[in-house]
Amino acid sequence: MKVSPLSPLTYRTGYYIPSIAFGTWTLGNGQGPIDQVEQALDNGFNHIDTAQSYRNEGEAGTALHESGLSRSDVFITTKYSGTNGLDINTSIHNSVENLGVDYVDLYLIHAPSLAKPDIPTAWATMEKIKEAGLARSIGVSNFDEKDLQILVESAKIKPAVNQILLHPYVYRRQLPTLEYAAANGIAGGPLDAPLNAIASRLGATTDQVLLAWTKAKGAVVVTTSSKKTRLQGYLAAGDIELTQEDVAAIDAAGALGAKKVTLRRLVTGALVGAAVFGACSYFNIRIF
């Protein structure tokens, strides 16, 4: 297994999270996702991001076991999705069985609408799952600042991360959520000109510049790309450092035209974990 050059982020709890993940949400079922997860692991990815609603936890588990890697070599994130009407506790037992592991590194509530009968009650169940050792860390996904406030007010254990959509076109809209996460220790077209100029100056691709932008925001990235060369390129972006001016130029361009350019899937799944999610973009809740 190759080693990713991208530095991991560290939770308040002391656990680390690799700063780029391979996601299974678009892969479907069968041999295809097994092959693609194995390819990601072979090329240096050591973080697999899946969910019950993706219906391929079993395939991810098969790929992990066929890779020959030890459990400690790979960080596994999965999510409670309310699949088949099952509750949070039943679902985590099903997930670890499907994945063929004793625990997951990170277990998330996939959306605030799934926190039933309410956010405090659902989160109390998540805390018990962590205490039972089924998940080393717990967090949420797609929560906004109001949802996080309700959670934090009742939580005994703060979420490690809030996994949200994060790319230049939505950064301004997501900023209140990122700021709330950071303040609570939770570890989240118009772009053509600045991206091309920065990429040309650095001898990089625009994809790599976008990954470096996400890294500058303290975020973890999830990609589902099936192309080996693209996976290798993402990992190679670990050495790219943007200036403050570069980051500001991308921020400004993104705010001007959210529909002018189609961003690659690289950034559609950035995780928030505030430092307080420090970044999720895994901002340390740190932001995922």
Point out the residues that are catalytic: 54
Contact 43, 1 (CB under 8 A): no
Partners of residue 278 on adjacent β-strands: 274
**Structure tokens given for 52:** 């019950």
Spatial distance between the Cα atoms of 255 and 267, rounded to a whole number of angstroms:
16
Please, what's the b/e burial string for 61-96 (b: 16 or more CB within 10 A of its CB; e: otherwise)? bbbbeebeeeeeebbbbbbbbbbeeeebeebbebbb
Tell me the two tokens of residue 107: 């277990």
Give 7's DSSP letter: P
The token duo for 69 is: 């890697």
Tokens of 274: 């505030």
Cβ–Cβ < 8 Å for 269, 223: yes
